Amino acid sequence: MTFVLDTEGLTPGERAEAVYAAMMYASAPCRVIHEDEAGPGHARLEVWEHGDGNVFTHRSSGIRLLRTERLARREAMPVLALSVQLTAEGRIEQAGRRWRVPAGELLAVDLSGAYDYSWSGDGAAGAVQIPFDRLGLPVDVVRGAVPQIRSSPYYRMVTDHVGHLARDPARLAGDAGVATASVELVRALLASVARPGPGTRRAMAETLLTRVRAFVRARLADPDLTPAMIAAAHHVSPRHLYQVCADAGLSLEQWIIGERLRAARHELLRPESRGRSVAAIARAWGFRDPTHFTRRFKARYGVLPSALRRPPGDDHAR
């Protein structure tokens, strides 16, 4: 189910109440304070189902979301929000800590607790909201890890993942595989900075394949990407990496080639890429040998790469 509020069609007097009602639905109950209470303001809020959680995007004029201790006592269900500040600088206070969140950075908020979050001027943020019980970690471990997420080796990986979701929720939020990846990446993020224990070690082991997939997708353009590099980056042996992939029915090298071919095909189909040669696009996605790329592409898609750029009905490149 999708929920969308756009205040553009509302009168200025209706907008504040509509945003408050939408925020009650989309996230934790809180006071909504508009930066310019006398002005018209504007807001667009979207909520997309994402597994057992949701993707919540919020674009608006300056706003402050204040969840008081009194409001927090009414809500017992712990939910964690991982939010990327898309534009403007966010400001957050929770559990005695205050910090600023520049555009492009990640913020973790315990929505069941009190907090004070705001930005000035036109801004935007997008969040994945996941119930604590889906994370497979004790509540105290999650809460203890939240202030440390920027020190995690997976911080940028999760930031990029949430950012992609926030920018295209219509395409990605309903994908069950992406929803599972969201949970596993957040588990890894928290477990990597939490105090060591059986729960955190289990979380790291169970999320290895998801972390490997995200790591590889971020480095498809690197022609030197190898299983040995991937294993070293995740502090496991190549043998263990191969075993984890085999248990999941995955051939690592063939999967990497397949992902590169998929990315190259997408690039070839983009109108903006028509000025680039097939060889240049092949190299951009990690193929050193254009002939090898062409052979693998034809085997995968049944046509030569150049055929994607020919007018319909022209079979010379087949």
**CATH number of 253's domain:** 1.10.10.60
Residue 64 CB neighbour total at 10 angstroms: 16
**Domain finish residue from 177, 192, 218:** 218
* Type and span of the H or E element at 204: helix 198-206
Mean pLDDT calculated for residue range 146-156? 94
Is the Cβ–Cβ distance between 58 and 45 less than 8 Å? yes
237 and 184, same structural domain? no
Q: Give the model confidence (pLDDT) of 276-317 as tens digits.
A: 999 999 999 999 999 999 999 999 999 999 988 755 454 444
292 and 143, same structural domain? no
Total residue count of the chain as it appears in this document: 318
Is the Cβ–Cβ distance between 105 and 159 less than 8 Å? yes
104 and 53, same structural domain? yes
261 and 233, same structural domain? yes
**Domain finish residue from 201, 218, 235:** 218
| Host domain of residue 10 | 2-218
CA distance linking residue 110 with residue 94, whole number of Å: 8
Q: Give the model confidence (pLDDT) of 92-118 as tens digits.
A: 999 999 999 999 999 999 999 999 999
208 and 189, same structural domain? yes
Confidence of residue 75 (pLDDT cuts 50, 70, 90): low
| Tally of domains within the chain | 2
Residues 6+ apart with CB under 8 A from 149: 106, 108, 155, 158, 189, 190, 193
174 and 301, same structural domain? no
264 and 205, same structural domain? no
Q: Give the model confidence (pLDDT) of 11-51 as tens digits.
A: 877 888 888 888 888 888 899 999 987 777 899 999 999 99
96 torsion bin: left (phi>0), alpha (psi -120 to 50), beta (else)? left
pTM of the predicted protein model: 0.80
292 and 172, same structural domain? no
DSSP one-letter code for 88: S
Is the Cβ–Cβ distance between 18 and 7 less than 8 Å? yes
Q: What is the CATH number of the domain that holds 50?
A: 2.60.120.10
Mean pLDDT calculated for residue range 172-192? 91
241 and 160, same structural domain? no
**Domain finish residue from 218, 249, 279:** 218
Q: Is 146 helix (H, G, I), strand (E, B) or coil?
A: helix
